Amino acid sequence: MGQSKENTLPASQIEQTAIKDQQHVWHHLIQHKPFEETPPMMVVSGEGMRVKTDTGAEYLDAVSGAVWTVNVGYGRERIAKAVYEQTKTMNFFSGCMGNIPAAEYAQMLTDVMPGLDRVYYSNSGSEANEKGYKIVRQLAYQKSGGKEHGKKHKILYRDRDYHGTTITAQTLRGLWPDLYKANEDNDIYKIVSVAINDIADFEAKIKKYNTGKYKTAGFLHEIVLMNFGGVLLGKDYLQKAYELCAAFDTPTFCDEIQSCMWYPGMFLYN
């Protein structure tokens, strides 16, 4: 692996840049009150799994850029050169047309995704989920010949899942503070695992939301619940949940970054 170049800006310029950040950048998922008095820490370079700040402090980046993004590490010269060569040829064009990297990569992805044969590119997980909501509602409309227009629109989701920060994505979640331990004798992981794999609860809800005028258009779920400490859904639970979805003609779609969508027996549409 190639090494990243050290930051070469003089200390005075870094300090001036930090002030610009303090005055003009709206940061993600952090309280800004402390920045009224002190500029935020500035990360100026990275190499491998470590990053350096404007003070010269070095940190181990255990969360891949804070959002599981830089999972190949920093300073990868081979990747930087590939990006450089591609941008010289064609750096971007709308997804309404074809391009060589997108077509080649789509085939590479579908080759390792049994049962799936098409890729839709998105800028983020939130955007991908928003597109998923549209797709399942459009499927309901098309399969019913227009009779389900506006009726089969509910998205069934799980309380402990996380699906993004857009308005719609945030409505499909149920997050609350977790106790480290329920009591001295019980392991919280085991308690959580039982709770999230309660198939009777899922069965009751899918039946409830498929009565009356409005029905479920899709079932959205994670396989690895990262907001609950990386708890894994059980295979038996998923298989039964998919069978119930099939019985109610409800497409399932998986929002899965942690496991790269790989799970035995998983499918997208019933």
Alpha carbons within 13 angstroms on the beta-carbon side of residue 205 total 16
* Range in 15-29, 35-49, 125-139, 173-187 with the lowest mean pLDDT: 173-187
CA dihedral 263→264→266→270, nearest 10 degrees, is: 180
Read off the pLDDT of each residue in 94-118 and give the average, rounded to a whole number.
89
Residue 266 has pLDDT above 90, yes or no: no
Read off the pLDDT of each residue in 143-154 and give the average, rounded to a whole number.
83
pLDDT one-digit tens code per residue, 35-90: 999 999 999 999 999 999 988 999 999 888 877 788 889 999 999 999 999 999 99
Query: Distance (Å, rounded) from C-alpha 153 to C-alpha 139?
Result: 10
For the domain made up of 123-254, give the CATH fold.
Answer: Aspartate Aminotransferase; domain 2 (3.40.640)
- Share above pLDDT 70 across residues of the chain, in percent, rounded to a whole number: 83
pLDDT one-digit tens code per residue, 170-189: 888 765 555 444 454 555 55
**What is the model's pLDDT at position 43?**
93
Count Cβ neighbours within 10 Å for each residue of 220-247 and write b for 16 or more, e otherwise: bbbbebeebeebbbeeebbebbbebbee
Read off the pLDDT of each residue in 230-252 and give the average, rounded to a whole number.
88
Question: What are the structural domain ranges in the chain?
Answer: 11-87, 92-121, 123-254
11-87: CATH class: alpha beta
Of 244, 190, 265, the residue nearest 254 (C-alpha): 265
Query: Distance (Å, rounded) from C-alpha 244 to C-alpha 242?
Result: 5
Q: What are phi and psi of 71, to 5 degrees?
A: -80, 0
Count Cβ neighbours within 10 Å for each residue of 129-138 and write b for 16 or more, e otherwise: bbebbebbbe
DSSP letter for each residue of the chain: -PPPPPP-S-HHHHHHHHHHHHHH---SSS--GGGGTSPPP-EEEEEBTEEEETTS-EEE-TTIIIII--TT-B--HHHHHHHHHHHHH-----TTS--HHHHHHHHHHHHTSTT-------SSHHHHHHHHHHHHHHHHHHHTTTTTTTTEEEEE--TT----SSHHHHHS-------S-SBTTB-HHHHHHHHHT-HHHHHHHHHHTTSSS-EEEEEEE-SEEGGGTSEEPPHHHHHHHHHHHHHTT--EEE--STTTT--TT--S--
Does pTM surpass 0.85?
Answer: no
Q: Could you tell me the two tokens for 228?
A: 């609950």
Q: Cβ neighbours of residue 85 under 8 Å, at least 6 residues apart? A: none
**Do the Cβ atoms of 42 and 18 come closer than 8 Å?**
yes
